[in-house]
C-alpha cells in the first residue's frame, strides 16, 4: 500500500499512499491502514517543493479528534486517466453523446489543452499498457470514441485493440491560445477546447473545469 523512500542526507522523505480522497482516508483509518512515519518531511521537504512558505506540522495535531477540517481543493476523480485530460474528455464525450456520433462518423478530432499536454508524453502512440494509456490524449479520446468503459480502460487487451490504435491517427492537438490568460484570471481553471469534424458538420465544445471539480476559493483561515 505504501512506498517510502529515504534519501542519503536524511533530510527529505517522500511517502506515497494510494488513498487520496477525503472519504477513503476515514475508511482506511478504521481498517488499520495508516501512512508512513516519515510522511512529514520537514521544512525543506515536500511542503516547500509545492510552494509552502512555512512549515507548521502542529496544524495536523491541533485539537486532534475534536476539530475536523477538510481542504477546499480536495476533489473526486471520475476517470482513470491523468486529471489534466479530463476537461477535454468531458467535452468529447458530450459532443458524441448529444449528436450520436459513431467512430465512423468522425473524420478527425482536434484537442486544444494547455501547452504542456501537447508534448510527447501526452500524445504518445506507443501504448504499452494501462499506464501509458492513462497519459495519452490520443488513446483516451480513441477509447471514448469507441465506447470503451472506464473498467475496460484498464484492460491491456481492450486498449490495445486495433480499432483503438487506428483511431488515434484521427486525433490532433495544439495548445489552447487563451489557456494562460484564463488561468491568470482563475488559477483553478483548465480551459480545453475540442473540435470534431464529420463529413457534414463540425462540432465544437469548450470546458473550463473537470467533472467533480470543487470550484472553491483558496482562503486563509488565519492560522
Query: Using one digit for the tens of pLDDT, what is the confidence trace for 88-119?
Result: 999 999 999 999 999 999 999 999 999 888 88
Tell me the β-bridge partners of 111. 173, 194
Do 32 and 98 lie in one domain? The reply is no
Distance (Å, rounded) from C-alpha 174 to C-alpha 55?
Answer: 39
* pLDDT class of 42 with cuts at 50, 70, 90: low
Total of domains in the chain:
2
Do 38 and 119 lie in one domain? The reply is no
Do 57 and 100 lie in one domain? The reply is no
The cell for 184 is 491568470
Domain that holds residue 199: 83-207
Give the alpha-carbon dihedral of 51, 54, 59, 60, to 10 degrees.
50
Do 138 and 187 lie in one domain? The reply is yes
Q: Is 74 part of any domain?
A: no
Query: Using one digit for the tens of pLDDT, what is the confidence trace for 125-138?
Result: 888 888 888 899 99
Amino acid at each position: 500500500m505504501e512506498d517510502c523512500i529515504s534519501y542519503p542526507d536524511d533530510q527529505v522523505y517522500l511517502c506515497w499512499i494510494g488513498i487520496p480522497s477525503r472519504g477513503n482516508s476515514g475508511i482506511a483509518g478504521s481498517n488499520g491502514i495508516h501512512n508512513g512515519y516519515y510522511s512529514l518531511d520537514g521544512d525543506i521537504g515536500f511542503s516547500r517543493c509545492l510552494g509552502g512558505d512555512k512549515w507548521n506540522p502542529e496544524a495536523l495535531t491541533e485539537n486532534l479528534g475534536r476539530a475536523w477540517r477538510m481542504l477546499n481543493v480536495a476533489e473526486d476523480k471520475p476517470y482513470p486517466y491523468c486529471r489534466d485530460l479530463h476537461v477535454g474528455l468531458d467535452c468529447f464525450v458530450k459532443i458524441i453523446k448529444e449528436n450520436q456520433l459513431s467512430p465512423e462518423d468522425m473524420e478527425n478530432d482536434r484537442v486544444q489543452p494547455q501547452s504542456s499536454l501537447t508534448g510527447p508524453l501526452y500524445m504518445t502512440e506507443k501504448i504499452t499498457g494501462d499506464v501509458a494509456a492513462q497519459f495519452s490524449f490520443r488513446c483516451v479520446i480513441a477509447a471514448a470514441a469507441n465506447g470503451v468503459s472506464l473498467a475496460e480502460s484498464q484492460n491491456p487487451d481492450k486498449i490495445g485493440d486495433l480499432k483503438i490504435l487506428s483511431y488515434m491517427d484521427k486525433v490532433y492537438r495544439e495548445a489552447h491560445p487563451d489557456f494562460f490568460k484564463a488561468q491568470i484570471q482563475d488559477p483553478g481553471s483548465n480551459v480545453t477546447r475540442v473540435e470534431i469534424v464529420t463529413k457534414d458538420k463540425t462540432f465544437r465544445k469548450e470546458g473550463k473545469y473537470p467533472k467533480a471539480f470543487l470550484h472553491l476559493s483558496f482562503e486563509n483561515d488565519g492560522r
